[in-house]
Amino acid sequence: MSIARSTLSLLLCLPLVILSGCGTTSPATDNATTPTLTAQIAAKYEGDQLYQALGGQTGIAAIVETFLYRLADDDRVVRRFDPRQIDYVQKVLNEQVCMLSGGPCHYSGDSMVRVHKGMKITEAEYQAVVEDFSYALYRQDVPVPTQQQLLERMAQLHDGIVGL
């Protein structure tokens, strides 16, 4: 795929992600006694075809794997991650993307707030991770409108990740 298409894809997706990452579901509701942020976001889009558009579990697994390789090469954020956690993170990220896209999965990971609390993740780090994920979507030939749909949902996790 050409650099031009990659650049276009990023240009189209990133402003959407940045915009929709603001003022979303309050992380205060993301605790053990209420539905997780992931489940709340999934519920808003119930019945749509995003999971199918991503290629189901096989397509999602390829996207997540490509993303994790990209992340491992990303000097902006790689130091944040523990290589011993990679298999676990891959498993729950597959579940999370599947659930967010309306697939037949249950996210078994911990709440976004609990996981990222105390890390003081910056906006720049968050955007770096979003770029790495966008790159994986492009590498896996996900059509741009489908990329945007998924990134819009992931952006709603922003307040459960950044600045905590």
What minimum distance in Å lies between the beta carbon of 6 and ligand HEM? 19
Among 60, 69, 66, smallest CA distance to 139 is for: 66
What residue is closest to ligand HEM based on CB? 109
What minimum distance in Å lies between the beta carbon of 2 and ligand HEM? 26
Is 53 or 155 the residue whose CB approaches ligand HEM more closely? 155
Residues near ligand HEM, by CB under 6 A: 77, 80-82, 85, 89, 92-93, 96, 109-110, 115-116, 121, 125-126, 129-130, 154, 157, 161
- Residue 5 main-chain phi, psi, to 5 deg: -70, -40
Is 53 or 134 the residue whose CB approaches ligand HEM more closely? 134
Is 53 or 111 the residue whose CB approaches ligand HEM more closely? 111
Contact between 64 and 146 (Cβ < 8 Å): no
Contact between 73 and 60 (Cβ < 8 Å): no
What minimum distance in Å lies between the beta carbon of 126 and ligand HEM? 4
Is 34 or 85 the residue whose CB approaches ligand HEM more closely? 85
What minimum distance in Å lies between the beta carbon of 143 and ligand HEM? 20
Q: What is the DSSP letter of 162?
A: B
Instruction: Tokens for 33, please give them.
Output: 């006694």
DSSP string for residues in 108-130:
-S--HHHHHTTS-B-HHHHHHHH
Contact between 144 and 61 (Cβ < 8 Å): no
